[in-house]
Amino acid sequence: MQGMAVPRLTDARKELRRAQITEAAVRCFSRNGLERTSIADITAESGLSTGSIYAHYRNKSELVRASAHSVLAERAEALGEYAASSTPPDPDELLARLIAGIDPIKARVAVQTWGEATNNPAIHGIVVETIDGMRAMVHESVTAWLVKVEHLEPAEAQQHATAIAHRVQSLYLAQLLHTALQSPDEETAP
């Protein structure tokens, strides 16, 4: 065996593998709940070895954080596009777009994570970080709308955007909860 090179994963391949593991974790968390999901469940769901899972994530808490960051990254991309647009959406349209992007599986994981945050400090930190990040992105999008469409001065727009962004995010989170509480039959009903 001496002299055999061990293949190394490229950075792109590592990111693909991490995404594969995170997606498997989200499916398991949605189906079994955070508490009842084990690394063995995630291993089986991902089709990878336990060693591969642990090569990318030290524990389940890291997987929860990665899952939250994954969902936030999706929202960040969309919100960034809205803010960069020459005519960003008004708050009602922004809320409608955010709601249209809710994935029922990820909504269930989000709500489970919120529940776990009440008694697990590590998960609490993840939830606070995720919600604060989302709030900042919604604020940025609303500020862009106030400046580009409503023609407010940037400082005034920043100030006005705070209350508007808070309402938009609150309504979005309420819809996320509603979606998470729907049964799978209700999700597919017209």
Q: Residues 112-168: pLDDT tens digits?
A: 888 888 988 888 888 888 888 889 999 999 999 999 999 999 999 999 999 999 999
Range of the domain at 133: 61-188
- Establish if 102 belongs to a structural domain: yes
> What whole-number distance in Å separates Cα of residue 179 and Cα of residue 14?
32
Q: What domain count does the chain have?
A: 1
Query: Would residue 27 count as lying in a domain?
Result: no
Is 118 within the bounds of a domain? Answer: yes
Whether 186 has a pLDDT exceeding 70, the answer reads: no
Residue 90, domain member (yes or no): yes
**Contact between 160 and 152 (Cβ < 8 Å):** yes
Within a domain: residue 130?
Answer: yes
Q: Examine residue 52 and state whether it is found in any structural domain, yes or no.
A: no
Q: 26 lies in a domain? A: no
- Please give the average per-residue pLDDT across 56-84, as a whole number: 83
In a domain, 3, yes or no: no
Tokens 């999901």 locate to: 37
Return the pLDDT at 148: 95
